Amino acid sequence: MEPDEIKTTEQLLPLVYAELRRLAAHKMASENPGQTLQPTALVHEAWLKLGGEQNRKWQNRNHFFAAAAEAMRRILTDNARRKLRARHGGGQQRVNLDDCATAADSEADHILAVSDALEKLAHLDPQRADLVKLRYFVGLSFAEAAEVLDISEPTAKRYWSFARAWLYEEIRAGR
C-alpha cells in the first residue's frame, strides 16, 4: 500500500489479514490451555470492529494497525472482564508490569488492570498509550511499533520505559 493511498476496510483485508493472523497467533501462543479465544477469532472480531464503519478510509498501513491495536485491546479486555465476573471466580491480585510481557501472556485480571490504567494514560499522553497498545496488546516489536507511530526506535524505547513505569505506579496505587 502506498504511503498516501487511502483504502477502504474491504480493500485492506487481503493485504493485511495474513499479518494480523500472524500477530494474533504469536500473542495467543502462550495463552493458558483451554483458552476460548483463538487467534483467528481475535483477528475476526477485530476485523468486525474495524469494518463496522462501512465507509471508513485508512490513510495508510500505520493508521490501520493503530486502529487494529485498539480493537484487539478492547476485545482482550472484554474477554478478561467476562472471565473475571463473580460467576467465573473473579478476584484481584497485584500486577507487576515487568512480569507481563504481553497481554496474551497475562491473566485476565492483569489485562484489565493494564487496560484501565492505559485509559488514564491515553488522556495524558496518547502517543505513549498507543505504543503500549501496539506492544502489549498486538505484540509488535519496538521497530514495528515505531514505524506505525512514525517515531524512531530509540524514542519508542524511551516512551516504553516511561509508560511502563507510569502504568506500574498507576496499577499499584489502584490496588
3-state DSSP helix/strand/coil % of the chain, to nearest 5: 70, 0, 25
Whether pLDDT at 73 is above 90: no
Q: Quick one: pLDDT at residue 35? A: 60
* Averaged pLDDT for residues 70-74: 83
Whether pLDDT at 175 is above 90: no
* Averaged pLDDT for residues 127-146: 90
Angle between helix 39-51 and 9-28 (nearest 10): 150
Owner of C-alpha cell 476460548: 36
Q: What is the pLDDT of residues 25-46, one digit of tens each?
A: 777 665 555 566 777 788 778 8
* Averaged pLDDT for residues 71-77: 82
Number of H helices, E strands in the chain: 7, 2
The Cα 95–Cα 114 span in angstroms is 8
The Cα 60–Cα 69 span in angstroms is 15
Mean residue pLDDT of the chain comes to 77
Q: How far is CA 36 from CA 30, 65, 76, 80, in A?
A: 13, 24, 11, 11
The Cα 9–Cα 38 span in angstroms is 22
Whether pLDDT at 3 is above 60: no
Q: What is the pLDDT of residues 51-65, one digit of tens each?
A: 765 567 778 778 888
- pTM as predicted: 0.56
Q: What is the pLDDT of residues 85-113, one digit of tens each?
A: 655 444 545 555 544 444 544 567 778 88
Domain positions in the chain are 7-174
The Cα 118–Cα 160 span in angstroms is 12
* Averaged pLDDT for residues 112-120: 88
Percent residues over pLDDT 90 in the chain: 24
